[in-house]
Structure 1
Amino acid sequence: LELNTMPGWAGSSWYMFRYMDANNENEMFSKEAQEYWENVDLYIGGSEHATGHLLYSRFWVKLLHDLGKVTVNEPFKKMINQGMILGQSAFVYRWEYGVEEKQNRKPVFFSHDLIVKAIKEKAFITEINDDAKAVHDNLLSLHRGQSIWGSEASFNHFTPIHVDISLIDDISNELDMEKFKSHALSTDFKDALFVLSDGKYFVGREVEKMSKSKYNVVSPDDICEQYGADTLRLYEMFLGPLEQAKPWNTAGITGVYGFIKKLWKLYHNDVGFSVSDEKASPDSMKTLHKTIKKVQDDIENFSFNTSVSSFMIAVNELTAQKCTSREVLEPLAILVSPYAPHIAEELWSLLGHHESISDAPFPVFEEEYLVESNKTYPISFNGKMKFTLNLPAAISKDELEKMVLANEKVQEQLEGKQLRKTIVVPGKIVNFVVG
């Protein structure tokens, strides 16, 4: 009988208030500290844990409030439940013998794609490997040479069995049959026979909760070892919105890893580190401040996945612009640092800084760099667009009309025709009505 439940229930329900006045040896916390800090601004947690913790915390905070210990009536001002990371489970499919067939029969596994094909074509699988030839002949003889399933072919003839995803090729879904036979979880199948597809066994896949019991857990240590911790962090954020459940797909991590390499290359040339003190181009400054604004908004809205997309777009644009300016690349490293701290810290050091990038002030968005100086106008004649002209954006209607009329292309179109009317809508269109 366990009676000591208070530390786990009560302690975890009000500990956040103790942080306000942790060195106070006379009381839980002082009234002054509580009035200053109030309650927790934001609580982030998984839905399963957060629901219980939220409920218990509310019980205790309301009790403390009734006792006059705290001035607030709720423990948290805002709560966000992060979505669960789902796993890609893998299955092998064991043929279910009839009752009279089961005794002394070796397990037989059919490749997933063969089963799908057979169900679609309403016929039994005839193209099988030599190792399973005896099984195939035996099954056919038991059914007098007829289709095993006939018109009722379905997965009901098979038992799906979870298989450790470490035995699967993430790209092709091919099973390593020898490792499967010798795996600790597959001791009952060491003598199994496999009905193959083109000499290979392909597993079936299904998105489920990531769980040890389903053998679909991806080890973060393995990902970090192969791709680095920054890639893992970025990929987890890139999977989707924070609150939604997201399926893990290790094959997709290579795209994020490619971005990390592209980011590093932006600061280097063939010789080595290469960042100049020359003034950045207007296009590069536009890319930078567009990214600053997007990332700033995304952080405030907890939309981390779209921030990662913004970084990818920015690096692609700056690479195309051949940007090497410190004016752009230095604040870019700071923008990236909350998402990929290790590579950002290394770049910060290479940029000549001795303090940590975490101490650097966040870049300030300046709207002037996003103001378009030019506007592309469609130039139409009797409502049909003939071409476009790139014209100054900050220009009056009369000045715009004069500038367009003076253009050589416009003069060529008007030659020999009577100009009846000119329709000018600044920022949108220019249309000439001619006869």
Structure 2
Amino acid sequence: VGREVEKMSKSKYNVVNPDAICEEYGADSLRLYEMFLGPLEQSKPWNTAGITGAHGFLKKLWKLYTPFLDETAIAERSRSEEEPSKESWKTLHKTIKKVEEDIENFSFNTSVSTFMICVNELSAQKCISRKVLEPLAILVSPYAPHIAEELWSKLGHSDSIATAPFPKFEEKYIKESDKEYPISFNGKMKFTMQLSLDLSKDEIEAAVMAHEKTQQQLAGRTPKKVIVVPGKIVNIVG
């Protein structure tokens, strides 16, 4: 038995009929998988085993919208109108930024990866906020139009998702406001402190010196020097 790697072609009788795949997994799964294979301009090996990954992702995406799909989830639906957490806002706007760049560069394979990361993060955050889930559905719609249209309808919209404006990226949601500083004594890290990035050197030093763990480490001694690098480290030299 010989083996040969060749392009799909009618003349070679090696074309895969998409109808059977659509029948088993749906058109959106096939569409996502084809984009996930790699850059558009490159030749890629065809292996239908990978479609299960794309199909699994769509099922996980669908599960995110449970409050709007399950008529009995009344309590969850009322909570969906609440303001999203800071982490959920950050996840959404990271995704908007990356997907927008990928669409402009025709890098659809990396967009699919970004969606997978986004859904995993939102699932871990237990995010059910409409303010996050509606823009996410719009972002997904060029990649998985059928499931996105269905979710848009379940979210209470009578018009098509194709007419919805593309979400706008806002940098304020991904900008870090705090930093977890490693607090070191003579070059050895002993603990960490969450401090605002807006603090000056003197303010950082004052906050660290006032911390009870610093007092325990110093045991009444006065440090020779306190080295503060804003946004990076604090090192106390005893």
Q: Is TM-score (shorter-chain normalized) higher than 0.5?
A: yes
Aligned twin of 2:177: 373
Q: How does 1:245-394 map to 2 (within 5 A)?
A: 245-268=43-66, 272=70, 275=77, 276-394=80-198
| Distance in 1, Cα, partners of 2:24 & 2:205 | 61
Equivalent of residue 228 in structure 1, options 26, 36, 43 = 26
Distance 1:271 1:247, change over 3 A: closer
* Secondary structure at the counterpart of residue 400 of structure 1: helix
Q: Which residue of 2 aligns with 1:180?
A: none
Q: Partner amino acid for 1:294?
A: K
**Deviation of 1:271 (Å):** 7.8
Tell me the distance in 2 between the aligned counterparts of 1:270 and 1:353.
12
More contact order relative to length (CA 8 Å, sep ≥ 6): 2
8 Å contact from structure 2 (residues 68, 155) kept in 1: no
Aligned to 2:9: 211
Amino acid at match of 1:260: L
- How many angstroms does 1:247 deviate by? 1.2
Q: Give 1:416 deviation, angstroms.
A: 4.6
The structural deviation recorded for 1:208 is 2.6
With over 3 angstroms needed to count, the CA separation of the structure-2 counterparts of 1:297 and 1:270, relative to structure 1, is closer
Task: Please give the residue correspondences for 1:121-140 in structure 2 after superposition, counting only pairs within 5 Å.
Answer: none
Query: Could you tell me how far 1:217 is from its partner in structure 2?
Result: 2.5
Contact kept in structure 1, 2:141 and 2:161, CA below 8 Å: yes
Counterpart of 2:210?
Answer: 406
Any idea what the Cα deviations from partners look like across 1:8-29, whole Å, max 9, x if unmatched?
A: xxxxxxxxxxxxxxxxxxxxxx
Inter-partner Cα distance in structure 2 for 1:414 and 1:368 = 39
Match of 1:244 among 42, 51, 60: 42
Q: Which amino acid aligns with 2:33?
A: Y
* Number of aligned residues: 232
- Kept in 1, the 8 Å contact 2:92–2:132? The answer is yes
Flag as ranges the 4+ runs of structure 1 deviating above 6 A: none
* TM-score normalised to structure 1 length: 0.51
Alpha-carbon separation, structure 2, partners of 1:355 and 1:269: 20
Q: What is the identity percentage for the equivalent residue pairs of Structure 1 and Structure 2? A: 72
Larger Rg: 1
> For residues 281 and 430 of structure 1, what CA distance do their matches in structure 2 show?
29
2-structure distance, mates of 1:360, 1:269: 21
Task: Identify the structure with the greater strand proportion.
Answer: 1
1:396 aligns with 2:206: no
Higher helix share: 2
TM-score if structure 2 supplies the norm length?
0.92
When structure 1 is superposed on structure 2, of 380-389 and 316-325 the one drifting more is 380-389
Q: How large is the RMSD of aligned CA atoms in angstroms?
A: 1.8
Task: Return the offset for 1:379.
Answer: 1.0
Matches within 5 A, 1:177-216: 207-212=5-10, 214-216=12-14
The letter for the 2-side match of 1:430 is V
SS at match of 2:6: strand
Gaps of 5+ in 2: none
Q: Aligned partners of 1:336 and 1:242: how far apart in 2?
A: 18
